[in-house]
Amino acid sequence: MLEILLDATVRAGTPILFATLGAIINERAGIINLGIEGLMLIGALAGFAGTQASGSLLVGVLAAFAAAMIAGSIHAFITVQLRGNQIVSGLALTMFGIGITALFGRGMVGLTIKGFERVAIPGLSQLPIIGKPFFNQDLLIYFSFLLVFGIAFFFARTRWGLALRTVGENPAAADTCGVPVLLFRFLAVTIGSGIVGIGGAYLSLATTPMWIENMTAGRGWIAVALVIFASWSSYRALAGAYLFGGITAMQLRFQAMGTTMSVHMLQMLPYFFTILVLVISTIRLQKGASQQPEGLGQAYDREDRK
Amino acid sequence: MKLITEKRELSSQLFRFIAPIISVLVALFVAGFLLQAAGVNPAQAYFEILQEALGSTYGLSETLVKTTPLIFASLGVSLAFRMQIWNIGAEGQIYMGACGASGVALFSGIESHPVMITAMFLAAFLCGGLWAGVAGILRARWRVNEVIVTLLMNYIAILGVDYLIYGPWKDPKGYNFPLTAQFSDAARLTEYFDTRFHSGFFLALFCALVLYLFMERTVWGYEIKVIGSNPKAARYAGMRTGLAIFAVLFLSGAIAGIAGFGEVAGLQHRLQHGISPGYGYTAIIIAWLAKRSALGVVIVSFLMGVLLVGGDSLQLTWQLPVAFVYAFQGLILFFLLASDFFIHNRLKLVKGDHHA
């Protein structure tokens, strides 16, 4: 029972995990990206279409990454180069994503593909309780583990990671040190967006191997909130994503068991908990030292440097 | 020769005015390519949009029907914008307003038309306001990000209405369809010309006027503008920013809630799924395009009404998904943000290696 629930938790949490990681990379560079929901949809459609056309799941994932990256570059150009309003640009990206995937997804509705299958890791998957949920999963889930460690390592231990953090904290200082601020921000937004796209692709390639219009159903917004819960750390993003995976899994379990509780009430739970968690983590952030990048939300213009 | 950008000494008033127009035109142009790629002839599609929405009395009445909730919701959103508060939750506030008005219509038993309509209006106002007020309290008290809270509450509001119409409020004689019973005649707004055009539209215009006077002629409106443009100065001047944040979000949601009242009292005459097909999201674009002007909100709402009515008809003739309108709206916003850049900057051709 616990094993099954944990397994469902990991599977429901993974798309949110990718999206949260991508959003963290954006915000670490100082750019708020509210286009996560739209990017996930673009990733979901591109991933499905890529796999459908080529027959290869790898091609699908790459297509998802590339498509979301291209879409993200619009946000990057507007907010980084043109110093446009980050909130409005992100909302525009979400709307654009919802609309464009509805338009180009028309032909994909009803088609099927062979989605990701489970690959057991020898040895580890035999562990009691955690073995099956964590080590008898599909390749994208293993990739998400690697990404969590990779991103944490990148920000904490590499020169470029440190430079990128400075770009988000104090772009003027980074500029003085010779870090190309605009280029770093542009790359962070586009690559982060690409990772968000993979989260979307998980939905259309693994969760339910098909394309459904608006299939993300608010997961992108949950990810935006989780960035604050995770205080911009990829390990905590993992915890946050699985917390929501867990709530979703339990909610589905309740539905399957046929409780007397209304389906609609159960479906509210993830959104409700996201708000709750957001409130708690915001209060917590204000009490301790804030982890929020100092320059978050502010465009950088060399001419304004003091 | 090299093309560089340079800051203008004075922001361009001309560009401030024409930027929205340019961005809509460019968005139409780019959306044309998207339509082409999706196998739709863009020229034909645009012509059809205009003809459907404006070419007949019926079309025009439908456009005004859609303009009505857009005006309310956009007025609400733009009020919050004035204070640099982001109310992305107009969609949910419309649902809550509709819910409040329906509750009164179904269960109050009031028989007098004016009393009933007033009670429904107030219920919608209050429900929408309280719904947004939650985000207001969280933001004012703990600085919780209101963008995320208002947005997530949209999902909760829509599911909440679903809960009611699939559950306790379901019409027992409705053949199990997820909708409430029809309202009594006392709970209906007047309709004109044998169309669905109803008096909610005039209420919306009135509301725009009131909001304009509120912002430009009262101390509260002035405070909102000061807090929005310079919160530090506002605090020094003794303005209570926390209270103002709550009040503005409440009012913003309350006005969006009236849109819900208009939809159930003027149009649907019952509460059902899909009361708003995304008016609350379109309102964000309208508010941004209208550049804080109440008159601008009315004009842009009408244009978006044209687009929505036209979009509905494209759905029938070309099997285009309704959500395509969102792609177009996103494009408008992108180009608007890009052209805003030229309000403060200009392009310049320089010779040789010039570093700005």
Predicted confidence at residue A289, as pLDDT, reads 62
Nearest CB to A271; choose among B156, B326, B334: B156
**Between A217 and B194, whose confidence is greater?**
A217
- Global ipTM: 0.88
Q: B-chain residues within 8 Å CB-CB of A286?
A: 142-143
CATH number of the domain residue A211 falls in? 1.10.3470
Region A199-212: mean pLDDT is 93
Percent of chain A with pLDDT over 90: 54
Residue A275 to residue B167, Cβ atoms within 8 A = no
Based on its alpha-carbon atoms, the radius of gyration of chain B, rounded to whole angstroms, reads 22
What chain B residue is nearest to A83 in terms of C-alpha separation? B341
Is A117 a domain residue? no
Region B333-355: mean pLDDT is 77
Predicted confidence at residue B356, as pLDDT, reads 45
Predicted confidence at residue B98, as pLDDT, reads 95
Region B109-118: mean pLDDT is 87
Interface of A with B in 76-135 (CB under 8 A): 78, 82-85, 87-89, 91-100, 102-106
Residue B138 to residue A271, Cβ atoms within 8 A = no
- What are A163-181's pLDDT values in tens digits? 999 999 888 888 888 889 9
Task: Say whether pLDDT at B55 is over 90.
Answer: no
CB pairs under 8 A between A and B: 146
Nearest CB to B330; choose among A93, A262, A282: A93
Nearest CB to B327; choose among A89, A99, A217: A99
Is A215 a domain residue? yes
Residue B5 Cα, gap to closest chain A Cα (Å):
10
Helix segments in B5-142, DSSP class H = 13-37, 42-54, 57-82, 90-107, 113-142
Q: Which domain holds residue A44?
A: 2-110+127-304
Residue A299 Cα, gap to closest chain B Cα (Å):
12
Q: Beta partners for B47?
A: none
- Alpha carbon separation from A191 to A23, A39, A151, A180, B254 (Å, rounded): 10, 12, 12, 16, 40
Nearest CB to B327; choose among A96, A271, A278: A96
Is A119 a domain residue? no
Burial A166-196 (b: 16+ CB within 10 A, else e): bbbbbbbebbeeebebbebbbbbbbbbbbbb
Is A30 a domain residue? yes
Region B87-113: mean pLDDT is 91
Measured in whole angstroms, the distance separating CA A152 from the mean position of its chain's CA atoms is 15
Is A298 a domain residue? yes
**Euclidean distance between the first and final Cα of chain B, in Å?**
14
Task: Say whether pLDDT at B353 is over 80.
Answer: no
Percent of chain B with pLDDT over 70: 98
Task: Say whether pLDDT at A77 is over 80.
Answer: yes
Domains of chain B are 67-319 (1.10.3470)
A252 at B interface, C-beta within 8 A = no
Report phi then psi at B163, rounded to 5.
Answer: -55, -45
pLDDT interval class at B283 (50, 70, 90): very high
- Give the whole-angstrom CA distance, residue B245 versus residue A23: 27
Is A231 a domain residue? yes
- Give the whole-angstrom CA distance, residue A168 versus residue B241: 28
What chain A residue is nearest to B288 in terms of C-alpha separation? A88
- Give the whole-angstrom CA distance, residue A87 versus residue A34: 6
User: Residue A12 is encoded by which pair of tokens?
Assistant: 């429901």
Residue B152 to residue A218, Cβ atoms within 8 A = yes
Region A226-247: mean pLDDT is 90
- Give the whole-angstrom CA distance, residue B147 versus residue A270: 17
Interface of A with B in 172-231 (CB under 8 A): 213-214, 217-218, 221-222, 224-225, 228
**Between A294 and A192, whose confidence is greater?**
A192
Q: Do residues B138 and B150 lie in contact, with contact meaning Cβ atoms separated by under 8 Å? A: no
Region B40-44: mean pLDDT is 86
When scoring B11, B158, B337, B345 by the number of chain A Cβ atoms within 10 A, the one with the most, hence best to mutate, is: B337
pLDDT interval class at A42 (50, 70, 90): very high
Number of domains into which chain A is organized? 1
When scoring B155, B166, B281 by the number of chain A Cβ atoms within 10 A, the one with the most, hence best to mutate, is: B155
Predicted confidence at residue B167, as pLDDT, reads 83
Task: Say whether pLDDT at A301 is over 90.
Answer: no
Q: Which helix (H) or strand (E) holds B200?
A: helix B200-217
- Give the whole-angstrom CA distance, residue A180 versus residue A158: 16
Residue A103 to residue B324, Cβ atoms within 8 A = yes
Report phi then psi at B348, rounded to 5.
Answer: -145, 140
Helix (H, G, I), strand (E, B) or coil at A99: helix
Residue B337 to residue A92, Cβ atoms within 8 A = yes
Predicted confidence at residue B14, as pLDDT, reads 77
Residue A97 to residue B163, Cβ atoms within 8 A = no
**Between B331 and A135, whose confidence is greater?**
B331
Is A115 a domain residue? no
- What are B217-264's pLDDT values in tens digits? 888 888 888 887 777 787 787 777 788 889 999 999 999 999 999 999
- Torsion, CA A106, CA A109, CA A112, CA A113, rounded to 10: 40
What chain A residue is nearest to B142 in terms of C-alpha separation? A283
**Between A23 and B176, whose confidence is greater?**
A23
Measured in whole angstroms, the distance separating CA A15 from the mean position of its chain's CA atoms is 7
Which residue matches tokens 């849109």? B259
Residue B331 to residue A262, Cβ atoms within 8 A = no
A244 at B interface, C-beta within 8 A = no
| Angle ∠(B150,B154,B156) on CA atoms, nearest 5 | 110
Helix segments in chain A, DSSP class H = 2-28, 36-54, 57-76, 86-104, 131-135, 139-157, 159-169, 171-176, 181-202, 219-229, 234-257, 263-287
Is A274 a domain residue? yes
Task: Say whether pLDDT at A287 is over 80.
Answer: no
